[in-house]
Amino acid sequence: MSSPPPSSLPPLAFGGDYNPEQWPAAVQREDRELMRVAGVDLATLAVFSWAKIQPGPDVWDFGWLDEQMDELHAAGIRVDLATATASPPPWLARLHPEMLPVTRDGVTLWPGGRQAFCPSSPVYREHALRLCRAMAERYRDHPALALWHVSNELGCHNARCYCDVSAAAFREWLRARYGDVDGLNEAWGTAFWSQRYGDFEEVLPPRAAPAFPNPTQQLDFLRFSSDTLLDHFVAERDILHEVSPGVPVTTNFMVMRQTFEMDYLRWGRELDVVSNDHYLIAADPHAHRELAFSADLTRGTAGGRPWLLMEHSTSAVNWQPRNRAKEPGEMIRSSLAHVAHGADAVLFFQWRASRAGAEKFHSGLLPHAGTDSRQWREVVELSQVLDAVEEVVGSGTDNQAAILFDYEAWWGCELDSHPTVDVRYRDRAEDFHRALSALGVGVDVVHPSADLSSYRLVVVPTLYLVSDEAAAAVTAAAEAGATVVVTYFSGIVDENDHVRLGGYPGAFRELLGVRTTEFLPLAEGHTVRVSGLGQGEVLADVWAEDLELAGAEAVAHHLDGPAAGRPALTRRSVGDGVAWYVATRLAAEGTDRLVARLVEEAGLDRLPGAAPDVEVARRVGADGSWLFVVNHGSQDAPVPVTGTELVSGRDVAGDLVVPAGRVAVVREGVS
Ligand code: GLA
């Protein structure tokens, strides 16, 4: 799918968060001059400026911001203007301490950091909307205004609040969901452990309790918490649409492995344009693979349309235990990888590294050392690369493989009191994505309710919680000719987290032609051997099952461990398609062998030149297609492609070589 980005945005915008209020006027002048040198064309302004814009309940100071808007406009830089509601000023908490968030242990989170507000607080809501309206009225006609940026990373620090105000709001949400308390009792299974409620007033958020809190209560609280912040976004968005029509509205998501609190696949439907913040996990030696998965998931939240990379970092961040600096070339590779997967902007946190505050050791486009630095030279180089590939803007993808992903399944899957703590929701999704990418298969990451009819391969990883409709859609995809592969701990419960009876994996049992009578999770670090996937054995860990065939054929078996002799991998022909089941956690080699077979069986097209460390992705537009090659490896990568390589401006005829660590973008076809 492709579609033009909002016309108010510069094509393939480049820039980042700009916090001029942290610096004197002379530095701000230098900022604008250096932004020109670096080719910055979009700056995100006023994200944390509430205390400066509104220093007291009825005191407003827009003068400095007027000046910044005017100066940036004069410098030819467009503005992504925040509504400034992300971090309430100290005076507001002093007047209304009841708006502060409270943890599940009853600890109040005080001002002094950021985002110290309860998402359900009417006081916060009232003041934030007043500020949002004031911003919209003041800047709606400003020529620099390109995009509205609601709040910032909603839920980054305060996604779940357990205070009394939140408790009352949770009850309202539950009343709307269940109608009466009997409906709630049924859904939550409160016949267990004497939990039956006689009245909604007895219901609480899942605060710290002597034993595991009710799982459906926990699940509903996650739904409620995500909905509450989304409701706040919508309230600000509606004011912006009313007062400032025609200017697109976004808020920056945090689609990455660490963040699961917001159901972004639902949120995405409410944004004019999706934007995402992504930071590499320093401790992960293959962090670029997580990046590629997250970028594909971000495109999923955008319904397949292009999206904006609102933030990433030029080098180290400051908030991980050990903050690794990026290697030479890594920042450009990461940037182009995001573009390869659908980003139509490359923005950073932040323009100039701060001198003071908790983020002073976070990298910026302009480091503390100034322009005589490798980071700065790479920033300038990146800007040139982005200019060279600008024509990709608005293009989409036409992938034949999909991975189903659902935040509710993530929430359910990782609740407490499960068979093992070692089943992690994103684990199988990322591993299949890795294996498919290494073979040059482009992947969409989509919600189970998405239209699956165009996919020839549908991967269903660890879809613990699944609705009847979604399970039926997966079955229909197989019947219509797709190859479907389901991994363990899928289809186990319904939307209320109630087990689907009669044998696992309940919702997919018939489709897969298997019936599991018992889970056999493995001890920590215990590895088992599996045979049948090609020559020799492959290893597996974490999970095994007491699985019986009920229509499927066994493709691979456990050689040892608690499921010795039992099938580990099954296959069943279904209508015009095939359904596979993976009943253990295959190590990478096993996943690779399985995926190679699936790709061949499904007859998937493969992009040229892909390899484990050579990321290849194709964007497709109305007027052509572009092949992105990001060489994360230490060897030069040959790529048989014909067209014009845009970064170098050279024509290639089937013989492109992308040097180790470098990137290439080829407009495909004979020029
Ligand atoms: C988030 C925030 C930014 C900044 C960065 C640091 O993405 O939105 O304000 O704190 O993290 O990595």
The CATH number of residue 652's host domain is: 2.60.40.1180
pLDDT of residue 8: 84
Q: Both 419 and 327 in a single domain?
A: no
The predicted pLDDT at position 1 comes to 44
Q: Are 158 and 165 a contacting pair, CB within 8 Å?
A: no
Q: What is the pLDDT of residue 5?
A: 55
- If asked whether residues 372 and 430 sit together in one domain, one would say no
C-beta of 48 in contact with ligand 1 (< 6 A): no
Question: Do the Cβ atoms of 86 and 151 come closer than 8 Å?
Answer: yes
| Cα 349 to ligand 1 centre (Å) | 6
DSSP sequence for 161-213: --SHHHHHHHHHHHHHHHSSHHHHHHHHTTTGGG---SSGGG-------SSPP
pTM above 0.75, yes or no: yes
The three-state secondary structure class of 373 is coil
| Ligand 1, pocket-test mutation among 153, 351, 363, most atoms within 8 A of CB | 153
- On whether both 249 and 141 belong to a single domain, the answer is yes
Q: 74-100, pLDDT tens digit by residue?
A: 999 999 999 999 999 999 999 999 999
Residue 166 placed within a domain: no
| Model pLDDT for residues 35-55, shown as the tens digit of each residue | 999 999 999 999 999 999 999
Give the residue, by CA position, lying nearest to ligand 1 atom 4. 349
Distance 661 CA to ligand 1 centre (A): 27
- 276 C-beta closer than 6 A to ligand 1: no
Question: Is 149 close to ligand 1, i.e. is its CB under 6 Å away?
Answer: no
Residue 428, Cβ density class (10 Å: 0-12 exposed, 13-18 middle, ≥19 buried):
buried
Are 87 and 70 part of one and the same domain?
A: yes
Both tokens of 455, joined, read 């996919």
| Same domain? 37 vs 152 | yes
On whether residue 217 sits in a domain, the answer given is no
Position 186 in a domain: no
Torsional sign, CA 231, 232, 236, 242: positive
CB atoms within 10 A of CB 449: 13
Strands (E) across 422-563 are located at 443-446, 457-460, 483-487, 514-519, 527-532, 534-541, 545-549, 553-558
Residue 179 lies in a domain: no
Q: What pLDDT does 670 receive? A: 81
| pLDDT recorded at residue 585 | 98
Q: Are residues 656 and 521 in the same domain?
A: no
Residue at which a domain ends, from 553, 576, 602:
602
360 Cα: distance to centroid of ligand 1 (angstroms): 12
- pLDDT over 80 at 2, yes or no: no
Residue 3: other Cβ atoms inside 10 A: 15
CA of 320 to the centre of ligand 1 (A): 12
How far out from the chain centre does Cα 139 lie? 30
Q: Which of 153, 261, 545, 645 is catalytic?
A: 153
Query: Is 188 inside a domain boundary?
Result: no
Return the CATH number at 64. Answer: 3.20.20.80
pLDDT, one tens digit per residue, over 129-160 is 999 999 999 999 999 999 999 999 999 999 99
Closest Cα to atom 3, ligand 1: which residue? 349
Of 315, 310, 350, the C-alpha closest to 17 is: 350
Q: Is residue 190, in this structure, part of any structural domain at all? A: no
Q: Alpha helix locations (H) across 552-604? A: 588-602
Residue 628, classified by CB atoms within 10 Å of its CB into exposed (0-12), middle (13-18) or buried (19+), is buried
| Nearest atom, ligand 1, residue 48 CA | 9
519 lies in the same domain as 540: yes
Question: Over 70: is that where the pLDDT of 497 sits?
Answer: yes
252 CA closest ligand 1 atom index: 8
312-343 b/e (C-beta count within 10 Å ≥ 16 → b): bbbbbbeeeeeebebeebbbbbbbbbbbbbbb
Name the residue with the closest Cα to ligand 1, atom 5: 349
Å from CA of 278 to ligand 1 middle: 9
Cβ 537 vs Cβ 556: under 8 Å: no
pLDDT digits over 618-654, tens only? 999 998 999 999 999 999 999 999 999 999 999 999 9
- Residue 669 Cα to ligand 1 midpoint, Å, equals 40
d(CA 270, CA 250): 9
pLDDT at 604: 98
Q: Is residue 285 part of a domain?
A: yes
Residue where a domain stops, chosen among 392, 414, 440? 392
Residue 311 Cβ inside 6 Å of ligand 1? The answer reads yes
Catalytic annotation, pick one of 311, 430, 615, 645:
311
Model confidence pLDDT, tens digit, residues 509-538: 999 999 999 999 999 999 999 999 999 999
Residues 445 and 325 in one domain: no
Active site residue 153: yes
Give how far Cα 652 sits from Cα of 607, 648, 658, Å: 16, 10, 12
Mean pLDDT, residues 423-428: 98
Provide the strand spans (E) within 542-640: 545-549, 553-558, 567-574, 577-582, 585-586, 614-621, 624-631, 637-639
Number of domains in the chain: 3
Span 305-332, mean pLDDT?
97
H/E segment holding residue 288: helix 287-301
Question: Is 25 in contact with 18 (CB distance < 8 Å)?
Answer: no
Q: Tokens 């689609």, residue?
A: 255
- Mean pLDDT over 412-425 rounds to 98
Q: Are 234 and 375 contained in the same domain?
A: yes
φ and ψ of 658, to 5 deg: -100, 115
Q: Compute the average pLDDT of residues 29-39.
A: 98
Q: Is 378 in the active site? A: no
Please tell me whether residues 528 and 653 are part of one structural domain: no
CB 345 within 8 A of CB 309: yes
Mean pLDDT, rounded, of the chain? 97
**Contact (Cβ atoms closer than 8 angstroms) between residue 307 and residue 343:** yes
The 8-class DSSP code of residue 98 comes to G
Cβ–ligand 1 distance for 364 under 6 Å, the answer no
65-74 confidence digits (pLDDT tens) = 999 999 999 9
State the pLDDT at residue 3.
52
Kindly report the backbone phi and psi dihedral angles of residue 587, in degrees, each rounded to the nearest multiple of 5, phi listed first.
-70, 170
Q: Is 279 in the pocket of ligand 1 (CB under 6 A)?
A: yes
- CATH number of the domain that residue 538 is part of: 3.40.50.880
Which domain-ending residue is among 602, 631, 659?
602
Q: Per the domain annotation, does 483 fall within a domain?
A: yes
Task: Locate 327 and state its tokens.
Answer: 């290697």
Range of the structural domain that residue 334 is part of: 13-160+226-392
**Statement to judge: residues 486 and 620 lie in one domain:** no
Please tell me whether residues 320 and 458 are part of one structural domain. no
Predicted pLDDT at 671: 59
